[in-house]
């Protein structure tokens, strides 16, 4: 017989994992926005290092 514990317990790891994944996505998106902002600022300033920076990737 399936109890409430059997129904709820499989959900807890999933919820924890989804929160963890969302936290990682938020951190990555913040880092991406920072990189884009820095790139835009460098382009506005005419930074000559941007060309070599793209080649290094």
| Whether 49 contacts 42, CB under 8 Å | yes
Q: What is the pLDDT of residues 12-32, one digit of tens each?
A: 777 888 888 899 999 999 999
- DSSP-assigned letter for residue 10: T
Give alpha helix (H) positions in 1-57. Answer: 4-8, 11-45, 49-56
**pLDDT for residue 45:** 87
**pTM flag (> 0.85):** no
């Amino acid at each position: 017989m399936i109890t409430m514990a059997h129904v709820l317990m499989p959900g807890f790891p999933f919820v924890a994992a989804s929160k963890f994944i969302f936290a990682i996505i938020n951190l990555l998106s913040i880092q991406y926005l920072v990189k884009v902002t820095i790139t835009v600022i460098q382009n506005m300033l005419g930074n000559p290092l941007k060309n070599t920076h793209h080649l290094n990737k």
